């Protein structure tokens, strides 16, 4: 196993000599169960609409482990009959071979980390699968699961708009109604950051990045797969419940090393973060019943800021009245008027405020302006 050079997820490559010793799946599943019980006690009798196995490579887990975790969730929570239960997977044959077992374990949706449909680009991205394996994985996923998706990364070094046009159309032709499209971003702490900092990795400039984004939306709109969130595209009815719950600023419990949670406890929204290092997390759970290392009570202002940060990524936008309820203040009408004038935001018939396609290219600035 290896970590991709662009990845800043909390993923770790285990070594027998690493701190904590060799990895034991059974021990970690036991810890997941303990932490699940802790969160269930924090907020009992909750209705679960979505379960998501993500971050790193969860498909390295056995189907037995996945099934045990799902069974535990059913025992602790009221899981909806139509709950979306997603697992992220890589296209490597060893993982794809387990798809039927994952379905039997309770998974009903998979998201395959393809990242590119060009073999030379996969090598540059540090991926260990080929395009042939990726296409095979997509086809197998679609034959086993009623719902599936896959990811691609664009605006890569030296990629041209025409290259992306051809690749994206290929991807849409293979999709089953949902696709996640992420612009390559350089995150501190990654190998790509070091290369970019030293001038060995040249990224598209801001104007070209904006052109990539506009082209992506044009092609997807023509294919009736508009963006319901800045990086997620779907035909109507195929949107990911997990994505929607997250970006709508709902409540969720994150289980495992490095997981994050947002829960309203005693009428106060809490931001909870888990220990990142797997073995330290495991030891904490064994000793105190959870791996939480921070538990911050968010202020009204922080809640409002997070709603803006999350909700303005959605094509449905945000309800200004909800912002006022969370933050204790109304959005500044003068700032909204200015942003309307620039064409960066617009009002919907239901009263929601949303960012326009032009505004998405400067989304961070729009959010900062409204939050100030």
Confidence check: pLDDT of 186 > 60: no
Does the residue 153 lie in any domain?
yes
- When pLDDT is averaged across residues 159-179 and rounded to a whole number, the result is 97
Go through the chain and tell me how many residues it has. 372
Mean pLDDT for the stretch of residues 161-188: 91
Same-domain check for residues 211 and 108:
yes
Residues 76 and 207 in one domain: yes
Which pLDDT value is given to residue 30? 96
pLDDT at 58: 72
* Neighbouring residues of 72: CB distance < 8 A, sequence distance ≥ 6: 32, 33, 36
Poorest-pLDDT segment among 8-12, 119-123, 151-155, 271-275: 8-12
Is 262 a residue whose pLDDT tops 50? yes
Strands 109-115 and 78-89: parallel
Where is the domain boundary, 244, 264, 289? 244
Q: What is the predicted pLDDT for the residue at 202?
A: 63
Comparing 89 with 3, the larger pLDDT belongs to 89
Domain count, the chain: 2
Range of the domain at 114: 47-244
pLDDT at 190 over 90: no
CA 302/CA 21 separation, integer angstroms:
40
Residue 91, in any domain of the structure: yes
Confidence of residue 13 (pLDDT cuts 50, 70, 90): low
If pLDDT is split at 50, 70 and 90, which confidence band does 18 have? very low
Question: What integer is the mean pLDDT of 210-235?
Answer: 96
262 inside domain: no
Tokens of 123: 């090598």
| Pair 117, 214 in one domain | yes
Q: Is residue 339 part of a domain?
A: yes
- Statement to judge: residues 134 and 230 lie in one domain: yes
Q: In this model, does residue 254 exceed pLDDT 90?
A: yes
Mean pLDDT throughout 52-57? Answer: 82
**Which tokens belong to 352?**
């929601």
Q: pLDDT exceeding 70 applies to what percent of the chain?
A: 88
Q: Is the pLDDT of residue 7 over 90?
A: no
Block residue for tokens 């080929």:
130
Provide, rounded to the nearest whole percent, the portion of the chain with pLDDT above 90: 77
Same structural domain for residues 182 and 54? yes
Confidence of residue 59 (pLDDT cuts 50, 70, 90): confident
Cβ-in-10-Å burial (0-12, 13-18, 19+) of 124 comes to: middle
**pTM for this one?**
0.89
* CATH code, 237: 3.30.750.200
150 φ/ψ angles, rounded to the nearest 5 degrees: -150, 160
**Residue 73 belongs to some domain of the structure:** yes
pLDDT at 263: 97
Based on the fold, state whether residues 306 and 236 are members of the same structural domain. no
Average pLDDT of the segment spanning 1-14? 49
For residue 83, is it within any domain?
A: yes
Residues 90 and 159 in one domain: yes
Of 229, 244, 259, the last residue of a domain is: 244
Same-domain check for residues 213 and 314:
no
**Can you tell me which residue has the tokens 């490597």?**
92
pLDDT tens per residue, range 281-296: 999 999 999 999 999 9
Residues 74 and 167 placed together within one structural domain of the fold: yes
**Which of 271, 346, 272, 336 lies closest to 303 in space, CA to CA?**
271
Q: What confidence score (pLDDT) does residue 10 get?
A: 46
112-122 per-residue burial string, b: 16 or more CB within 10 A, e: under 16: bbbbbbbeebb
211 and 326 inside one domain: no
Domain end among 244, 260, 285:
244
Q: Which residue carries 């269930």 as its tokens?
A: 40
Q: Is residue 318 part of a domain?
A: yes
Assign residue 305 the CATH number of its domain.
1.10.10
| Same domain membership, residue 319 and residue 200 | no
- CA-based nearest residue to 294, from 247, 246, 261: 261
Q: Are residues 170 and 237 in the same domain?
A: yes
264 lies in some domain: no
Q: What is the mean pLDDT of residues 184-206?
A: 63
- Which of 73-82, 329-338, 355-364 comes out lowest in average pLDDT? 355-364
């Amino acid at each position: 196993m290896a970590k991709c050079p662009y990845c800043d997820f909390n993923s770790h490559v285990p070594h027998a000599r690493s701190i904590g010793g060799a990895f034991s799946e059974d021990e970690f599943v036991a810890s997941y169960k303990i932490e699940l019980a802790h969160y269930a006690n924090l907020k009992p009798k909750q209705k679960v609409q979505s379960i998501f196995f993500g971050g790193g490579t969860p498909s390295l887990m056995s189907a037995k482990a996945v099934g045990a975790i799902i069974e535990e969730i059913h025992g602790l929570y009221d899981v909806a009959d139509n709950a979306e239960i997603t697992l992220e997977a890589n296209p490597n044959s060893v993982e794809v071979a387990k798809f039927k077992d994952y379905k039997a374990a309770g998974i009903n949706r998979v998201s395959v980390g393809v990242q590119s449909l060009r073999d030379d680009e996969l090598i540059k991205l540090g991926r260990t699968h080929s395009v042939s394996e990726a296409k095979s994985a997509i086809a197998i996923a679609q034959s086993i699961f009623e719902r599936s998706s896959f990811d691609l990364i664009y605006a890569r070094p030296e990629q041209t708009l025409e290259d992306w046009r051809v690749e994206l159309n290929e991807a849409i032709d293979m999709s089953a109604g949902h696709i996640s499209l992420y612009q390559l971003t350089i995150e501190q702490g990654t190998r790509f950051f070091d290369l970019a900092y030293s001038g060995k990795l040249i990224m598209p400039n801001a104007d070209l990045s904006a052109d990539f984004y506009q082209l992506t939306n044009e092609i997807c709109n023509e294919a009736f797969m508009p963006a319901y969130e800045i990086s997620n595209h779907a035909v109507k009815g195929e949107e990911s419940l997990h994505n929607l719950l997250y970006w709508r600023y709902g409540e969720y419990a994150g289980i495992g090393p490095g997981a994050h949670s947002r829960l309203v406890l005693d009428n106060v929204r809490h931001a909870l973060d888990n220990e990142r290092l797997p073995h330290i997390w495991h030891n904490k759970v064994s000793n105190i019943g959870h791996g939480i290392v921070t538990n911050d009570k968010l202020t009204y202002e922080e809640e409002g800021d997070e709603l803006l940060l999350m909700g303005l990524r959605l094509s449905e936008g945000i309800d200004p009245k909800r912002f006022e309820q969370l933050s204790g203040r109304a959005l500044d009408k003068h700032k909204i008027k200015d942003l309307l004038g620039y064409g960066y935001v617009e009002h919907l018939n239901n009263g929601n405020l949303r960012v326009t396609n032009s505004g998405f290219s400067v989304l961070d600035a729009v959010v900062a302006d409204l939050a100030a």
